[in-house]
Structure 1
């Protein structure tokens, strides 16, 4: 039996249980492991994710610095680069021109070209192209064909007559930047044929048709007559400034 004075003191037969403060620190427990000896679940995976996240944040910060212009000299290591290995232009010829371009017409034409076969369904064999072509045609007077008698001055020196060839139309200049394919339909066999043996110049025919239509429209538009009038006004102003009172400009048939 314990004595009354020592009732709160542990007896020798029943020593007090150790507390957390009295336990010695264990130095053999590896970091990231529980005192029981088992590692924390997902420890290495979490550390790898943290490292990848940090790298991603650094890249985003570097790209943001470049785009915002804080450090303009900073070069993005993953930026796009373009290398031009084109050869220098080669001058093949120089041609002296003696044309006076007196008028120019700008035209637009819609070409609807379809190629199919009789008694064959369109879904099987068909090719239809709707092309919008834009181009220009110049009307000019060729001064290189003028002879000595093209300029006749009156005896009193007050009038002059100029004989010129009739204006001509230049070649149609198809503007590819303003021209485009509006719609295109192809049959099943046409699509298969393009996959096997594609034709990079299959649009050449619609280009040629567009040029022919624009050339015909230029002839019917009165462009040569406008060139005659503009050339006449130009020569009248020039020769009158030289002292001639009367200026006559005539055109010969081409």
Structure 2
């Protein structure tokens, strides 16, 4: 008696189709990865030179708008540097989705001056022999802080996903105006706490003393008031 053995059919592999919505998500992630990875042309040799950009200066002529006579004696100048750490977060979204953080090094100068244009005749006294002079000057003041673009730079920039996407459609995605304004404000505050105005008054006194003594005065007294 012979027995026949029936072979069981091998199970067929089941191929699952990827849903359309999953394909769309994968495609979106791939596009964002390419955009945010910051692929450079240097990855492929020769493409940088092939698609290199030329710079052309087509600026118009410079127009002189006004001329103003200056009566300030710039007596001192201070150089300052500040590290600005500016972070902006969303109330309801994590920083990875919405938020920015910029670390910026700001370098700038602040000048201190004495406004000699405010000195009137009543503020200058000369004796009959013209050997002694007494001057009363206004206190030294601080000028506006000036940020040096050559020595100021962003150390790092962190942006959330929505901020990166928004930068793609922004006219100025690399704007650093907020941190620059903050750096200028901090530099101005530091200048007020420094001895810059005192140094300006000392230098002004030395300048006037040397100038008037070269004109024949033997004694020069300089004081400062409001």
Return the TM-score normalized by structure 1.
0.64
Measure, in 2, the Cα distance between the counterparts of 1:183 and 1:201: 12
- Give the unaligned 5+ runs of structure 1: 1-79
Q: 2:74 aligns with which of 79, 96, 101?
A: 101
Aligned with 2:135: secondary structure? strand
The alignment's C-alpha RMSD in Å is 1.9
Alignment of 1:50-129 (within 5 A): 84-129=57-102
Pair 1:81–1:219, CA change in 2 (3 A) = closer
In the alignment, which residue of structure 2 is the partner of 1:142? 115
> Greater relative contact order (Cα 8 A, min sep 6): structure 1 or 2?
2
Measure, in 1, the Cα distance between the counterparts of 2:139 and 2:176: 35
Q: 1:234 aligns with which of 207, 214, 217?
A: 207
Shift of 1:201: 7.3
Measure, in 2, the Cα distance between the counterparts of 1:187 and 1:83: 34
Measure, in 1, the Cα distance between the counterparts of 2:115 and 2:154: 36
Kept after mapping to 1: 8 A contact 2:167/2:173? no
- Give the unaligned 5+ runs of structure 2: 1-52
Q: 2:141 aligns with which of 143, 168, 178?
A: 168
Pair 1:155–1:184, CA change in 2 (3 A) = same
Aligned with 1:108: secondary structure? strand
Measure, in 1, the Cα distance between the counterparts of 2:178 and 2:55: 34
Shift of 1:199: 4.2
In the alignment, which residue of structure 2 is the partner of 1:251? 224
In the alignment, which residue of structure 1 is the partner of 2:36? none
Aligned with 1:90: secondary structure? coil
In the alignment, which residue of structure 2 is the partner of 1:183? 156
Measure, in 2, the Cα distance between the counterparts of 1:128 and 1:210: 15
Shift of 1:197: 3.6
Measure, in 2, the Cα distance between the counterparts of 1:82 and 1:107: 33
Return the TM-score normalized by structure 2.
0.72
Measure, in 1, the Cα distance between the counterparts of 2:218 and 2:120: 23
- Count residues in correspondence: 174
Measure, in 1, the Cα distance between the counterparts of 2:183 and 2:106: 6
In the alignment, which residue of structure 2 is the partner of 1:131? 104
In the alignment, which residue of structure 1 is the partner of 2:23? none
Aligned with 2:182: secondary structure? helix
Residue deviations 1:47-103 (CA, integer Å, cap 9, x gap): xxxxxxxxxxxxxxxxxxxxxxxxxxxxxxxxx986543221111111111111000
Pair 1:118–1:84, CA change in 2 (3 A) = closer
